[in-house]
Amino acid sequence: MSQKCLAFNIMQGGFQKEDAEKLITEEMVNHIEKDTKSSSTRLLSFLALIHWYVPGSHLSKLVCEEFIDPTKQPSDEDNPKLETIMKPFEDLIDIFSEEQEDRCVRLAHRVIADACLKRFTEHNVTRSDIALDFLNSMVKGKESNYGEICKNIFITRLETGKRKEQFSRLILDIMHESGYNHNQCIDLLEMAANLFSTDPYYPQTLARFYYIKVKEDNKYEKAEKWAEEAIKRNPNNSRIRDTLGQVHKNHLLSEAKNPSSDFKKCLAIAQSATDAFKKEEIAAENDPEDRTTFSYSGLLGFLQVCKIMNDTRFGKSYERRKHLNYISGLRGDVESRYDFFEWYLAFSRPSFEKEDPEYIHRDVENCYKKYFTQTAETTLNEKKMKSFGGLLHFLKSDINVVKEHQRALKHPQSDNETQTVLYILANIVLSQSGEQREQAEELQARLQKLWLREMQDRSPEFYLLILLLFWPDEAQPGITNPPNLENCVQYMGQSYERKYQKYLRGRYLVPLFFFGKEKGLQRLVHELKLDQINLELLTEGDGNADTECLQRINGEVKNQEVFAVRDGQQIPVTPHDPSSACKPGQVSFYLGFNIRGPVAYNIRYEENLSLQRSHVNRVL
């Protein structure tokens, strides 16, 4: 295939694997077989490696020319030396210019890179050989020029479905190619770790490789060494610190499976693990605010270690006594971390489309049950009845639990805000199944008394209940001076910033309730009462979508901000889709509430609807 045909096929998107195979001529194969150590063959292997694992990657022409063996340089000054030395492979290579860069060299297509790597493998030049040669010959001494490309090749893990792959694609391919000979990967990663001597991600990857893939008896000691080296390079990064905790946790899990587990050894490993996770938690608290999400791995890892130690059984009586004392000392730590996940998982998830992995919820609850075990399920349900996040959980799991425990719902003291908030939420939860202890008017009166006290530093949960019960659709008779919802939304946002912003940043805040058409507490509609079609219409549909059980709220868009307009109030509302608030005008929308405040879903510009109706009337 000529260069012109190749270029045309690539431009048309019609370049296939078969085309790449045809491009690699017998002459090229003979050149590779005859002289695998030549500059041209090695340079081709580098170009194939980087283009396959980092699509579109290239090397500068100047660097390629510096790499070429001086003894092989062409003597004819009229011929460009790179083009001459690479002539056997000229149909595979693209030399081009980029803005503000020297001339660049790359393979003409990623499929060609794959075909070349397979040809090299057939001639006993493995991916591991090529990568080691690339590090030694191109990267060494010029590490700053190759930092990004090497990180993509050796470190970056691809997303596959719900989870990331365990290692970079190159490392996984080398394992497969070598028949799972771990030494090749270790040698490669060690060289990279030594070259990039301040980068923590290479020793971190080595530590992970040792404890996940290696089978040797001393693998945990080696993993610990590299995990500590990673921390030394960046001690303030919580995600780097997490690896040391994971090494100890997996070591403990391995020891605990041994029927003759030694208590002293298990205890030492467990303490090393919990210490590592506690230090990770501190680092996570101090992670920079521009970090995309808060890292909860230290909190979860701590609970997982506690569960492993609780599950482990030791034979000797004095060991069992020490074991029980150790377990007893962890109860407070277990409860505080359980409390974190209870609200964290109730208020948020990774994104609108993505749920948290099921094992997080499972591991957190199972650990709590292990440490509060008289009657595990009853104890856990009683615990949930005493927290906002726990009560919300029953809406997704089993609302009957709240019914069974409603006798335990004592009328709160009028000045006790925490008790009142939980009591009102329990009534809202019960109302979702048609039951409640008090009517909306009575609950409003309780909240009204607390609102008038004008306390500082109230929780977002308190302001959420104010919005749910006092949203100006039906002002209840008998209550004068209702809460100012403009102020409420402002206070709620400030409270959210103080209490939850650090932990929930970068996550999707789930709608806890929507505003429906019924009266009293029945006007609050939980997400699970909406079918998937209605949810998609709310979040993805255009402004013409209608959801039968929900009420549209009138509002206005000004300066790309959305307001609900009611009784002279302009209540700020966050648009679920900011792009839908694209211009000033009168709008309507469906109203949801998350832990940060009210949210406008499916924004409809009313003038558009008027024009559509006018058009229909003219047609009729």
**Nearest CA among 194, 174, 173 for reference residue 184:** 174
Q: CB burial class (10 A; 0-12, 13-18, 19+) of residue 78?
A: exposed
d(CA 75, CA 315): 80
Pick the range with the lowest mean pLDDT from 21-25, 42-46, 175-179, 520-524: 21-25
Q: What is the dihedral of CA 448, 450, 451, 456, to 10 degrees?
A: -170
- Joined together, the tokens standing for residue 18 give 């078969």
- Cβ distance 54 to 153 under 8 Å? yes
- In this prediction, residue 436 has a pLDDT band, given cuts at 50, 70 and 90, of confident
Write the CB contacts of 529 (distance below 8 Å, at least 6 apart in sequence): 432, 549
Pick the range with the lowest mean pLDDT from 70-79, 380-389, 441-450, 472-481: 70-79
Higher pLDDT, 53 or 385: 53
d(CA 550, CA 99): 54
| Domain parsing of the chain, residue ranges | 236-384, 390-513, 522-619
Model confidence at 347: pLDDT above 90: yes
pLDDT value for 616: 39
Pick the range with the lowest mean pLDDT from 220-224, 266-270, 416-420: 416-420
pLDDT tens-digit profile of 221-258? 999 999 999 999 999 999 999 999 999 999 999 999 88
pLDDT value for 613: 45
What percentage of the chain reaches a pLDDT higher than 70? 88
d(CA 478, CA 583): 40
**Nearest CA among 266, 368, 271 for reference residue 320:** 266
- In this prediction, residue 102 has a pLDDT band, given cuts at 50, 70 and 90, of confident
Higher pLDDT, 434 or 54: 54
Residue 393: its H or E element: helix 388-396
As a whole number of angstroms, the longest Cα–Cα distance in the chain is 101
Higher pLDDT, 65 or 76: 65
Mean pLDDT score of the chain? 87
Number of other CB atoms surrounding residue 50 within 10 Å: 26
**Nearest CA among 428, 465, 439, 467 for reference residue 553:** 467
Higher pLDDT, 612 or 273: 273
**Nearest CA among 377, 411, 410 for reference residue 394:** 377
Higher pLDDT, 409 or 29: 29
- In this prediction, residue 615 has a pLDDT band, given cuts at 50, 70 and 90, of very low
pLDDT tens-digit profile of 487-523? 999 999 999 999 999 999 999 999 999 999 888 898 9
pLDDT tens-digit profile of 526-564? 988 887 777 777 877 666 778 888 999 999 999 889 999
pLDDT value for 382: 83
Model confidence at 103: pLDDT above 90: no
pLDDT tens-digit profile of 561-583? 999 998 788 999 999 999 888 89
d(CA 110, CA 17): 10
Three-state SS string over 543-562 comes to CCCCCCCECEEEEEEECCEE
Model pTM score? 0.89
**Nearest CA among 561, 571, 567, 570 for reference residue 603:** 561
| Greatest mean pLDDT range, 11-25, 291-305, 440-454 | 291-305
Higher pLDDT, 439 or 300: 300
Higher pLDDT, 318 or 133: 133
d(CA 537, CA 539): 6
| Greatest mean pLDDT range, 166-170, 380-384, 411-415, 447-451 | 166-170
